[in-house]
Each structure stands twice: as structure tokens, then as C-alpha cells.
């Protein structure tokens, strides 16, 4: 028994050493943008009590139909019960609304200048007003997917399409470009099992991923005036269609393994850890495994089951510990947040969340109507500067789904 334990520890240590050694030369892998998780600062690896466990920590599937189930887990009976999840997220969008507002103000002030080259050259304030936007990409995301999750099992597919246009002051005349067009298409399956009288849960998952990317597409701003920009849009559409046709080429797909664990210390304190995208080779690059650890606190006096059930969660995570893609900054990996969910029998459920992700505030809400219509909204930010708190890239997202 001792030799088996030593062997398991050695295997885990070897895995971590290999992951750490390859982190500096690897890219970030595909990650699902959960609006519930992001709304509370993405501190979620130890909460994972619903379908989101598929994406964050497969061990969390062991909690579905366990929390709030007095017969299965008497110590965790005083929580809202979640029996099963089956949902189609029909459409979602993640937009940088602040950047849109700034760009709209700039375009409104200089609209006439884009009619032809001579008018553009005669606009004395155009270049000064454009300078703050110079080569600053504005990422727009479209989200779609579906998932099914029950006790100890889950499966999902999802797609996250992103386009990041930018403006370039240019040497003589302004230009417009696209830094990246990226589509992540992923299929995932996962399972979990409880041990030690269900105090410990372990889970594993498999993901099949395809990433198509277009980089550095640029045109002169004056081209937009010739035919209302239709020729430019046609060029972009042709490029996208060419890339998306590769989705049928299975040699471009990557394969990864997810592992996760949960430890229920008390009825109100839970620890979690997960390693995602292990062994994935995608678009001719090795993917950095995403190692995250954290804890969740569910104050027993604030949570309750029954008809008007309520759930309160507090969480703290260290996210993506191995990744140093944008220089290693410890504070950028610290996430914490809280959420409150109030159910009104089967009629409606309202969730409010808030927190900090990598030094920037996050907030969001979720509304379930008749257990069939699901509306989620969230705002969070990513760091695009050289240090934590340097340059904020803020997103606002909305997702609508149907199902259980």
C-alpha cells in the first residue's frame, strides 16, 4: 500500500515537473467562458456544484444531486438541490462596451473625413484623436454551446468565436486591421467518483479541440468609402470561410485530459484543484496545462434548502499557476468572489455575484424562469499590460439558454 502511494505521488510530481518545464514554450489552451464563474471573479474550482464542473473541475460532478440531498449526504442537506442539468446556450456575446463607446465618439466626430483621401488629409485633428486607439485591438466574442450533467457524469460541446479589429494611425493615412480571428470548437466528456465516505471526490475528463486562427489582416481606411466597406467585408468573410473549412480536417484537432479533486473538510468548507488541457498539442504548439487550486466557503446560516432555497458561496483561487505567457505575475492569478442565489420554488431563481479577477472587479447576475429559460450577464477584465493593474481590457457578456 505504501509503495502504491509513493508511486502515485511520484507520478503526480513528474506530471507537474513536465508541465512546468514546458510552460514557458507553450500556448494557452481553449477555456470555456462561464458567466457564472467569471461573475464571481472566476474563483470557481472548489465550488463546481453544477454543469460548470465539466469546464472547471470534473470532480464537481460528484456534487450534482448530492448537495441538498438528505438521503445521499446528510451533512450537506441544508443546500438547494440540483438534480440534473441539460441546457442549450443558444447565443451569447462578449463585448468591450467601453471601447465601443470611445470608438463611436471618435467616428461621430470624424465621419466626413472617411469619405475620401483628400478630406481625410485636411482633417487637422484626426490623427491626434486616433492616437489613443492606435493598434489597440477590440475583441468581440460570440458564444454557443450545450451541456448535460448529472451525478458523476457530464458532456458538453461549445464554440467561442473571437475577432479583434483595430485602428492603425499609419504613415500617411489611417488603416484598419484585424489582429486575430479565432474560433475554438470543443467537445468534452467527464466523470467523477467519491471516496472516503464522499469526503474526497476525484474526476477526469477528455476534450477534443480545434482552433482556427487568422492573424494580421489589414486594409486602408479609405477602402471603406469606395463601396461602403463591402469589399473589405467580403475579404474578411472569404478568409473566415477558408479557415472554418478546416474544421472537417481531423488532423488539426488537439486532444487533452482534465483531472480534478475536491476535499470536503466540513459541511461549509471545501478545497479544490484541477489540471486542464494536459498533453494537448494544438495548431503546432504545445498547450500549457492550466493548474488551479482554491477553496470555497458556504456559510451554513446563510444557506437553506426546501421551497425557498438559498445558496451563498465565497471562494478564493490561484488560477493558471503554470502559465507565464505574459510574464509571471502572482497577483494576476489571484481570484476571489462571492455569490448569492435565491430560489422562488420552481417559478424563478435569481443569482447575484461579484469579485475580483486578476486585480480587476467582476460582477454578474443570472435569472432562471420556470426552470427552463436561463439568462446570464457578467462583466470582467483581462490584463493586457506589463503588470497587474496596468491596462484593463474589460468585457460585458450576455448569454441566453433553454433547458433544465
pLDDT digits (tens, 9 = 90+) for 160-196: 988 887 777 665 666 777 777 888 999 999 999 999 9
Residues near 18 by beta carbon (within 8 Å), at least 6 away in sequence: none
**CA angle, corner 324, sides to 143 and 12, nearest 5?**
90
User: How far is the first Cα of the chain from the last one, in angstroms, to the nearest whole number?
Assistant: 43
Q: Which range (77-81, 106-110, 287-291, 346-350) has the least confidence? A: 106-110
CA 361 and chain centroid, separation: 15
pLDDT band (50, 70, 90) for residue 23:
very low
The C-alpha cell that represents 16 in the structure block: 507537474
| pTM score | 0.83
Q: Where are the beta strands (DSSP E) in 151-199?
A: 153-168, 175-195
Domain range holding 107?
2-403
For 171, the 3-state DSSP assignment is: coil
Predicted pLDDT at 247? 62
Between 32 and 248, the more confident residue is 32
Phi, psi angles (nearest 5°) of residue 380 = -155, 175
**CA 253 → CA 180, 266, 284, 286, distances in Å?**
19, 42, 10, 12
Q: Residue 121's domain is classified under what CATH number?
A: 2.40.160
Number of domains comprising the chain: 1
Q: Is 271 helix (H, G, I), strand (E, B) or coil?
A: strand
Contact 207, 54 (CB under 8 A): no
Q: How confident is the model at residue 221 (pLDDT cuts 50, 70, 90)?
A: low
Contact in structure between 180 and 211 (CB atoms under 8 Å): no
Could you tell me if 248 and 223 are in contact, meaning their C-beta atoms sit under 8 angstroms apart?
no
Q: Grid coordinates representing 374?
A: 436561463
Q: How confident is the model at residue 350 (pLDDT cuts 50, 70, 90)?
A: very high
C-alpha closest to that of 399 among 373, 360, 361: 373
Amino acid at each position: 500500500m505504501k509503495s502504491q502511494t509513493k508511486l502515485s505521488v511520484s507520478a503526480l510530481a513528474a506530471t507537474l515537473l513536465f508541465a512546468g518545464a514546458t510552460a514557458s514554450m507553450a500556448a494557452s489552451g481553449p477555456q470555456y467562458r462561464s458567466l457564472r464563474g467569471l461573475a464571481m471573479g472566476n474563483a470557481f474550482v472548489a465550488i463546481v456544484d453544477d454543469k460548470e464542473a465539466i469546464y472547471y473541475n470534473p470532480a464537481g460532478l460528484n456534487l450534482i444531486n448530492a448537495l441538498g440531498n438528505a438521503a445521499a449526504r446528510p451533512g450537506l442537506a441544508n443546500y438547494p438541490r440540483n438534480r440534473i442539468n441539460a441546457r442549450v446556450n443558444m447565443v451569447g456575446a462578449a463585448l468591450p462596451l467601453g471601447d465601443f463607446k470611445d470608438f463611436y465618439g471618435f467616428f461621430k466626430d470624424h465621419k466626413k473625413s472617411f469619405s475620401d483621401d483628400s478630406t481625410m488629409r485636411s482633417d487637422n485633428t484626426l490623427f491626434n484623436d486616433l492616437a489613443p486607439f492606435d493598434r489597440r485591438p477590440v475583441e468581440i466574442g460570440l458564444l454557443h454551446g450545450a451541456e448535460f450533467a448529472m451525478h458523476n457524469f457530464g458532456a458538453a460541446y461549445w464554440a467561442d468565436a473571437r475577432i479583434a479589429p483595430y485602428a492603425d494611425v499609419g504613415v500617411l493615412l489611417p488603416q484598419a486591421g484585424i489582429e486575430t480571428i479565432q474560433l475554438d470548437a470543443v467537445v468534452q466528456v467527464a466523470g467523477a467518483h467519491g471516496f472516503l465516505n464522499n469526503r474526497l471526490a476525484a474526476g477526469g475528463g477528455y476534450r477534443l479541440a480545434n482552433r482556427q486562427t487568422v492573424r494580421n489582416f489589414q486594409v486602408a481606411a479609405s477602402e471603406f468609402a469606395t463601396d461602403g466597406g463591402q469589399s473589405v467585408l467580403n475579404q474578411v468573410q472569404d478568409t473566415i470561410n477558408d479557415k472554418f473549412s478546416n474544421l472537417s480536417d481531423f488532423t488539426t484537432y488537439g486532444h487533452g485530459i482534465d483531472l480534478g479533486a475536491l476535499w470536503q473538510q466540513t459541511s461549509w468548507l471545501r478545497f479544490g484543484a484541477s489540471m486542464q488541457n494536459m498533453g494537448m498539442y494544438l495548431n503546432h504548439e504545445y498547450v500549457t496545462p492550466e493548474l488551479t487550486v482554491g477553496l470555497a466557503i458556504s456559510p451554513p446560516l446563510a444557506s437553506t434548502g426546501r421551497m425557498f432555497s438559498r445558496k451563498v458561496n465565497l471562494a478564493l483561487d490561484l488560477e493558471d499557476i503554470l502559465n507565464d505567457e505574459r510574464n509571471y505575475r502572482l497577483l494576476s492569478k489571484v481570484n476571489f468572489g462571492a455569490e448569492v442565489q435565491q430560489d422562488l420554488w420552481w417559478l424563478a431563481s435569481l443569482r447575484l455575484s461579484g469579485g475580483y479577477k486578476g486585480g480587476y472587479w467582476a460582477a454578474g447576475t443570472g435569472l432562471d424562469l420556470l426552470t427552463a429559460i436561463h439568462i446570464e450577464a457578467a462583466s470582467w477584465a483581462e490584463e493586457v499590460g506589463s503588470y497587474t493593474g496596468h491596462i484593463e481590457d474589460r468585457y460585458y457578456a450576455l448569454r441566453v439558454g433553454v433547458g433544465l
